Amino acid sequence: MIRVLFICLGNICRSPMAEAVFRNLVQQDNLSDKITVDSAGIGHWHSGEPPHKGTRDMLDKLHISYKDMKARQVHSTDWRDFDYIIAMDDQNIRDLRNINDEMSEVTIAKLMDFVKDPDNENVPDPYFTGNFDYTYELVSKGCNGLLDNIKKEKNI
């Protein structure tokens, strides 16, 4: 089983959007028996909360499920439990390295690393910008690129 974890600051906007979008892509490709998806936040502030209303509204508009999703904080055990830890921005990467800088088999990358010539190297946080449409645009491109990468890398 290939395990993917998306990371953002609070786990209510970007990373749950990425989790839902990526899970939807995995289901469309009939790969749910090969790939599992989760998300977490650097901080604990929103633990137990559902995705932000802006994220829910965007996913509802696109008919993408976020059923049963609740925010959680990233744990050092995630480096053992996941194959890919995918962050939304440079600060998330720095924070992840501060949490666990041990060498491991996990691939740690930014979501935009999977987009050829991205408009933005980071996914801006709509919690602050209010622009959930742009966040979705970037997340969608990144998730498609990530899935293509995993399929090639893992020959699935």
Just list the catalytic residues.
Answer: 8, 14, 125
Give CA torsion, residues 50, 56, 60, 63, to 10 deg: -70
